[in-house]
Chain A
C-alpha cells in the first residue's frame, strides 16, 4: 500500500445549491495525502457538483458545511487561490474558450514555462496547441487536453471527473498512463519505476466503469446518491456490488467503513 500521510482534504457536512436547488445534502469525506479516492454514483446524484464545489466554482453555492484543504478552511476561497494551493481539476464538460489557443493556456498554466509545450506530443495534442481551447474538440481530445493542462499545472490534489468516459478502447491506455503519471510524478520526476511506487499526488476520481482504476489503483471509494454519501468501502468491492446488484440494492449494502 502507499504511504498515507496527513489529511489532504476534509469535507464536513457540506450542503451545496446549484440552479436554485439543493444538490448536496450534507456530504462528509476525508482524503489523506497520497490517497486516491473513487466516487461512484448514479447519473445526477451530485458527483460533478461535489467536485466543482471543491474547486470553488461559483455556480455551486455552499450553504453550510466546510471544506478543509491542507489544514486550511477554503470554503470561501476563490478558484484561483485554491488552484495555487495545489488543487487541480479535470472537468467533465469544460467550456469552450474561443480565441484562446490551447498552447497559450498550457504555457500560462505552467507560469510561462514554454518547455511544457514539448510534452504535448506524448498526449497526441501537438497539433492542437494552435487551436482554440476545447472548441470543436472530440470527447477524447478534451480528456487529453485537460490532462496536458493538469500536467502543466502540477497540482498536489486532483479532481478527475470521469477521465475515461467517451474515450475509445485504444486511447484509454494513453489516458490511463497519463493519469498514472500525473499521480505518481512530481516535478517532472517519476516517483517510481515498476510496480512499487510512492504516490505523490492525491486524487478524487469519478468513474462509472472503474476502467481508470486499472491504471492508478485506489484506496477507497464512496457512493453518492441523491446528494448524500451512502456507502464507503474498498473500490473493487463497491464496484463489484454496483455491477452485480445495481445502485438501488447496493445502497442498502454493508456500510463498510475503512476509515477506522
Chain B
C-alpha cells in the first residue's frame, strides 16, 4: 500500500470528528503491535479473564466458532474451529494474502473523514479480518475482544468483515480496558460488507475505563437482500465515546437494524448515533435507541436517508432521566429525496413513572428492585431479538448500577 502518499489523508490528521469533543492524538502512544501470542485463552491471567468475561468473551471458547483477541495493537490470539466456512486473519495478513481485498480496503469508510480514520490509514493499522464463505452458515458466534492494556495508549485498529453471498454469521465483540490503563484511546475502523442474501448480527459490549476516549468509525455496505443487525451496548461509565456507524443499503430488499442500549452515569459522555442510507427500492431500516442517564451526558442521534422507492424505516430514541444534572439530547433526523418512502421517528425523554415504581413496590419489591426492573424493561422491552448473553450483561449492569433512591 502507498498509504503515506495521500496528501488529503495527511491533511485530515488535523480534522476533528464531526461530533464529540476533539482529541489531541499526540497525547497517546501508539499501542505495541508485537506483544506475545496467547496460544490458549484459558491460560491468560485471572484479571484479563475477568475483563473478557465482563464483555461477553469466554475464555474456554465454548459455544464460539472462533476467537480473536487484540491487546493494544497486537493480534494476540486467533483461533478458528470452522476453517472450512469462516476465515479469521489479521488485516495485514489478509491484505498480503488476497489481492482482491483492495476492492474492500477503505471503501466503506473514507480515510479522510477525520483525524481518527486518517491516523489509522497512515499507521497502516492492523485489525481483524473475518470472511464467511459463500453459502456458509456459522452455527456459533465468532468472538472478538479489544483490550487496551496500558495507560496513555492508543489502540487503533482497522477491521474488515465480509459476509459472502448467502452466508451468515454472528459476531460478539467485547471492548474493554485494563484497570491500570488510564487515559487510553480506542479507534476502531470497521468496514463491513454483506453480499447478496448474506446476514450479519454484530453485538458489541463496551466496558471502558472512566477516562477512556472511544472513537469507532464504522461503514457497512449491504447488497441485495442482505441483512445486518447491530447491537451496541454501553453500560459502564466511559470518559467520552462518540460513535455514528453508517450503513448503505445499496441492494434491493436489504435491511438493517441498530439497537443501542446505553447507561450514562455521572462522568460518562456518550454521543451515540446511527445513519442509514436507504439507496435501493424496498429496503428497510430500524434505528432503536434506549438510554438511561443518571448524571451523565447522553446524546442519541439517528438519521435515516431515503433515496429510493418503497423504502420503509423507523427511528426511535427514548431516554429516561433518573436524576438532575447531566444532559440528555435526542436528535432524530429523517431525509428523503424521493416521494414514495415511509419513514417515521419517535423521540421521548422523561422520568420513570412514580405510579409504576410504587405498583411494583406494593408487591414487596424494594424501590431499587422496582426501578431496576422498570429500567431493564425500558432498555430491552421494545427491542426484538437481543441475544441471550447480551440480556445477561444488561441484567447484571442494571443490578450493579443501583438506580433507585
Contacts and interface: CB of A to CB of B under 8 A. Distances in A.
Given A97-B356, A100-B381, A132-B381, A83 B374 contact: no
Contacts of B363: 83, 88, 105, 108-109, 149, 152-153
B42 interface: no
Interface of A: 55-59, 78-80, 82-84, 88-89, 91, 94-101, 104-105, 108-109, 111, 132, 149, 152-153
A88 to B, nearest CB: 7
Q: Secondary structure of the B side of the interface?
A: helix
Interface string B101-140: 0000000000000000000000000000000000000000
Among A82, A97, A109, which residue has the most Cβ atoms of chain B within 10 A?
A97
Contact of A79 (B358, B380, B381): B358
A82 B367 CA distance: 13
B402 interface: no
16 contacts: A57-B355, A57-B358, A57-B362, A58-B358, A59-B354, A88-B362, A88-B363, A95-B359, A96-B356, A97-B360, A98-B381, A99-B377, A99-B380, A100-B374, A101-B377, A109-B364
B373 A104 contact: yes
Interface of B: 353-356, 358-367, 369-370, 373-374, 376-382
A58 B359 CA distance: 11
Contacts of B360: 97, 100, 105, 108
A83 to B, nearest CB: 4
Contacts of B356: 95-97
Contacts of A91: 359
Contacts of A108: 360, 363, 365, 369, 373
Report the 5 A-B pairs with minimum CB-CB distance, sorted nearest first: A99-B381, A99-B377, A100-B377, A80-B361, A83-B364
Nearest to A98: B381
Nearest to B383: A99
Contacts of B365: 80, 108-109
A84 B367 CA distance: 13
A100 B364 contact: no
A149 B363 CA distance: 8
Contacts of A58: 354, 358
A94 B367 contact: no
A94 B354 CA distance: 12
A100 B358 contact: no
A213 B382 CA distance: 41
Residue among B355, B362, B379, B382 having the largest count of chain A Cβ atoms under 10 Å: B362
Nearest to B379: A99
Contacts of A105: 360, 363, 373
Contacts of B359: 91, 94-95, 97
A98 B377 contact: yes
Contacts of A152: 363
A186 to B, nearest CB: 17
A132 B376 CA distance: 12
A89 B382 contact: no
A231 B272 CA distance: 62
A14 B126 CA distance: 73
A101 to B, nearest CB: 8
Contacts of A95: 353, 355-356, 359
A152 B374 CA distance: 19
Contacts of A84: 364
Contact of B373 (A55, A100, A111): A100
A194 B205 CA distance: 58
Contacts of A57: 355, 358, 362
Residue of A58, A79, A82 with highest tally of chain B CB at under 10 A:
A79
Contacts of A59: 354-355
Given A80-B367, A108-B369, A132-B381, A99 B361 contact: no
Given A83-B364, A97-B377, A100-B377, 18 more contacts: A56-B362, A57-B358, A78-B361, A79-B358, A80-B361, A80-B362, A80-B366, A95-B353, A95-B356, A97-B360, A99-B374, A99-B376, A99-B380, A100-B373, A100-B374, A108-B360, A108-B363, A108-B373
A104 B359 CA distance: 14
A78 B367 contact: yes
A170 to B, nearest CB: 28
A89 B360 CA distance: 11
Contacts of A111: 364
Nearest to B367: A80
A59 B365 CA distance: 19
Contacts of A88: 362-363
A56 B362 CA distance: 8
B377 A79 contact: no
B78 to A, nearest CB: 39
A84 B365 CA distance: 8
Nearest to A96: B356
